[in-house]
Amino acid sequence: MGEPRSFRRWLRAVWPPLPVWRRLDLAVAAVAGYTALAVLGERYVGEHLPDWSSASAVLNAIVLGVLLGFRNREAYDRWWEARKLWGQLINDSRSLCTKLAARAGLSEEARAEVRQLVPAFAVALKDRLRGAPGPVHVPLELYGRLVARLQAERQAGRLTETDLLILDPHVRGLMDVCGGCERIKSAPVPLSYRSLLRHGMVLYLLSTPWLVADALGWWSVPTVALFAYFLLGVELTAEDVEDPFGTDGDDLALATFCDTIRAGAEQALDSSEVSARGV
């Protein structure tokens, strides 16, 4: 049992699986089949592209490279910004709960409610970003309840104005993260860039098999398929990554982030933990 598992781990390290492999494999198989038809057409029918088409293919490849680089950079920037926002949400949640736990006068009711509201905010934001139905902005509602609870504690004399000033950056940070994520979700990469890239890829993959069929013969099939694998793989990965809040393999592990926030809130605000620390 040990050797097969070790081999599988080694294989995954050397050849890690692609989350987009199903769509990619289908696309590459289609390109390989089309290339085989081009070879047959060139060999037995005598069909071939004019000589000037080689120069146009080179120009198309240059433009395609520029567009593909832009597309990939924009998609990754969106993914990385989303990851930083959720990292900020984790840090603000931990800081808020830890600083609240240090306030000795905080009531048990407030402690218990905040312990529920902070993780619930993260879960509600995850669901909203993944398209959960409903006209109510649940993260905003939970944020309002959190602010109201802190104000109630202030009016009851269990928190001071200074306490609220200390907590405010972390409370406000929750909605800052929500707004940043909604901005990414509602502003995709402009359609024109994606369309131009798709047009260029289609033209390139339609013309290349005919350009290499005469020189490479049947070797055109694996050669063009290899080009298509990386070309289409980068595009499909960019498409996967540009919306980082879904459930695809390249998307952010939002459920794991929510679990991390819940664990931090429970650890910081659990009454038994606070008693053990002597707070």
- Residues in CB range of 131: below 8 A, 6 or more apart: none
| Positive/negative CA dihedral, 174, 248, 18, 189 | negative
pLDDT for the residue 279: 42
The residue type at 120: A
What pLDDT is attached to residue 4? 67
Q: What pLDDT score was predicted for residue 53?
A: 57
At 54 the pLDDT is 61
Q: What span, in angstroms and rounded, lies between the C-alpha atoms of 156 and 153?
A: 5
pLDDT of residue 162: 95
Q: Which pLDDT does position 126 carry in this prediction?
A: 97
Supply the pLDDT for residue 13.
Answer: 79
pLDDT digits (tens, 9 = 90+) for 84-96: 999 999 999 999 9
Radius of gyration of the chain (CA): 27
Three-class secondary structure of residue 247 per DSSP = coil
Q: What is the pLDDT along the chain (279 residues), one digit of tens a residue?
A: 455 678 778 777 777 888 888 899 999 999 999 999 999 988 877 666 555 456 666 777 787 888 888 888 999 999 999 999 999 999 999 999 999 999 988 999 999 999 999 999 999 999 999 987 778 999 999 999 999 999 999 999 999 999 999 999 999 999 999 999 999 999 888 888 888 888 889 988 988 888 888 888 899 999 999 999 999 999 999 988 999 999 988 899 999 999 999 999 999 998 545 444 444
Q: What is the pLDDT of residues 216-250, one digit of tens each?
A: 889 999 999 999 999 999 999 998 899 999 998 88
* pLDDT attached to residue 274: 47
What is the identity of the amino acid at 255?
A
Say if CB 264 and CB 93 are below 8 A apart.
Answer: yes
Report the alpha-carbon distance of residue 242 to residue 148 in Å, rounded. 36
Residue in this structure with the two tokens 């109630």, named with its chain if needed: 152
Tell me the whole-structure pTM to 2 decimals.
0.85
Which pLDDT does position 56 carry in this prediction? Answer: 62
d(C-alpha 244, C-alpha 183), whole Å: 12
Cα–Cα distance measured from residue 194 to residue 181, given in angstroms and rounded to the nearest whole number: 22
**CA–CA distance, 252 with 249 (Å, rounded to integer):** 8
